[in-house]
Every structure is written in C-alpha cells, then in structure tokens.
Amino acid sequence: MNKTTLYTLKSLYRDDFRVTGYEFGSGKKSVCIVGSSRGNEVQQLYCCSQLIRKFRQLEAEGRIAAGHKILVLPSINPCSMNIQKRFWPTDNTDINRMFPGYCLGETTQRIADGVFREISEYQFGIQFTSFYMPGDFVPHVRLMDEGFSCPETARQFGLPYVVIRRVRPYDTATLNYNWQVWDTQAFSLYTTSTARIDPNSAGQAVLAVMNFLSRQDIIKYTVPGGLRSRVVNDADLISIRTAKSGIFVPMVKAGDTVEAGQPLANILEPYEGDILETLYAPLPMTAFFVHNEPLTYADTAVIKLIES
C-alpha cells in the first residue's frame, strides 16, 4: 500500500487542506474508488475504510492481479466532514457540482480540478455518493443514460438494482459525468444510509465492489455470485408526495414490500399531533427510497416505490 497526498490547498490560518489517496498494486490505472465528497457522507467514508482494509490484506497475500493499480480516496472534502457540514464551510458550495474543476476558480472548483487531474485516466470509476434528498435507499448501482457506461457491466456488482437515470443539466458538473467524458466507465453506488453508519449495507457495498473487481480480473477473490441485478430507469420509480407539511412518521422501511392501499406514512400537525395526511401505496410494490428526516414540506417526494 502506498499512502499519498494527491492534492494540497495552502491555508493562511490553519492546517493545509489535503486529499489523501491509497494506492494498491501497480501498472495500468484500472479502478479509482471515491468516498465522501460531502461532509455528512459518513457511510461513504466508512465503506472506503473497509475497502482499504480488504485491499491491504489482498496485496499482502499477492491477490491483486499483476499490471493493475487500484486507487481509493476515502474523502475529497475532509474540512466539511470535520465540522459535520454537508457542503463547503465558507460558501456552501458542493464539490460534486464543480467537476472537472478550474484551477483559477473558487475554492471548490480548485479542489475538483486538483482531484480530477489525478483520477481522470482510470478505466473504471466507482463513487460512493448520496442523494440530494435525505432518506434511506435499497442498495443499488446508478449510471447515467449518456450511453458510455454499460448496464451489463454494472450488473457485475451483484446488487439488487441497476438504475439508469436521465442526464439533467446539473449532472454535467458531477464527477460521474466528467469521468465518462474522459472515457472512464463510471458507476455510483448507493447504500442504505448517509449520515450514519449502517454496517449491513456497508458490508453489502464492499462485497459488491469486490465482486466487480473479481469479475474484471483485477483481484483474485472468491465471492458469492450475487443477485441477477434488475435494470430499471429512474422514470419507473413512483414518487409518493406529501400534500401537507409537518412531522413525518414512516410506517415502512427501504426494501419493504407493500400491498395496494397499505399505509406508508403519516404527516402530523407539529403542535397538536393530529394526523393531517396518510400516504398510501397505489399498487403492490417495493419501497425503494424512504425519507428519514423528522420533518417534511408539502409537495415533497418522501417515498419512492418500484415494481416488485
């Protein structure tokens, strides 16, 4: 293992900002794995830490295939993680909306530029990321429909779902999109949680990465065959929206199977506790995403369902 500083940003008053990488093997730049880009992505950081432990063991045992290099970046935003703030502390900008970056731009643009220069030439890019809305997911692989990344390749992770999402204008500044502009096959991995550690879904995600690397002959590792991933489009997800604002009380968890007419959540009046609204399942489906904050606004997609 080679621990290296990939990017440094000088500070006038405190310690310098550093992005640390862990290299395993040598030769062709085969796979780069990126963890948290936001300060609340603790689960994503944890997943990378567990992968580093695995790769360190595999390298010591000679089970990283010759001619392949693996790079892991546990966090590209340690400053925000230190103070538990999701976005960049001083101007609230999102590093994952700044790629490929600009070396003479704002702070987050410079960080994105410095990081991307180091990771833009890998064959595969895997990013542990989080959704823009707070909630718990069924673990899955997500890729964009620009046509470069292959759903059949994504199935090699062995997770329950591969979700293909339509590219939106703001996606053009994300790491996933820009990786693919530079000919890297990029995949976003979503685990159940973000701001808290869920060991079970983290273990599932780590196993999925090991499964993928084994099937690409990058590591020598025997893993279970995994599921036959189901490929769906994000348009296939049915959003259950609130009509009222209030306290959100879910009755289902991500991954639960629900029946038509089954209550999914209640919205309570914050001061008096009355039930303002009950959300119901329109069809027999699976809860793919469930909002996990105690409060919600009106007209918010708090639950997403997918065909079972």
Report the alpha-carbon distance of residue 66 to residue 56 in Å, rounded. 15
Q: Which CATH class is domain 2-233?
A: alpha beta
Q: What is the pLDDT of residue 148?
A: 72
- Please answer whether residues 132 and 152 qualify as being in contact, where contact means their C-beta atoms are separated by less than 8 angstroms: no
Burial tier of 258 (Cβ tally within 10 Å: 0-12, 13-18, 19+): buried
Q: What local confidence, expressed as pLDDT, does residue 228 receive?
A: 80
Contact 76, 37 (CB under 8 A): yes
Q: What is the CA radius of gyration of the chain?
A: 20
Q: Three-state DSSP class for 219?
A: strand
Query: pTM here?
Result: 0.94
Q: Which residues of 33-58 are buried (b: 16+ CB within 10 A; e: fewer)?
A: bbbbbbbbbbbbbbbbbbbbebbeeb
- Say what the pLDDT of residue 123 is: 97
Query: What does CATH list as the number for 237-307?
Result: 2.40.50.100
Locus of tokens 């045992």: 61
Pairwise CA distance, residues 217 & 298, whole Å: 49
pLDDT of residue 147: 64
Report the pLDDT value the prediction gives residue 225, as an integer from 0 to 100.
63
Q: For residues 291 and 255, what is the distance between their CA atoms, to the nearest angstrom?
A: 13
pLDDT by residue, tens only, the chain of 308 residues = 999 999 999 876 778 899 999 999 999 999 999 999 999 999 999 999 999 999 999 999 999 999 999 999 999 999 999 988 999 998 999 999 999 999 999 999 999 999 999 999 999 999 999 988 899 999 999 998 876 778 999 999 999 999 999 888 889 999 999 999 999 999 999 999 999 999 999 999 999 999 999 999 999 998 776 568 999 999 999 999 999 999 999 999 999 999 999 999 999 999 999 999 999 999 999 999 999 999 999 999 999 999 97
Measured CA to CA, the distance from residue 75 to residue 21 in angstroms comes to: 9
Give the residue extent of every domain in the chain: 2-233, 237-307
Q: How far apart are CA 80 and CA 178, in angstroms?
A: 23
The pLDDT of residue 227? 67
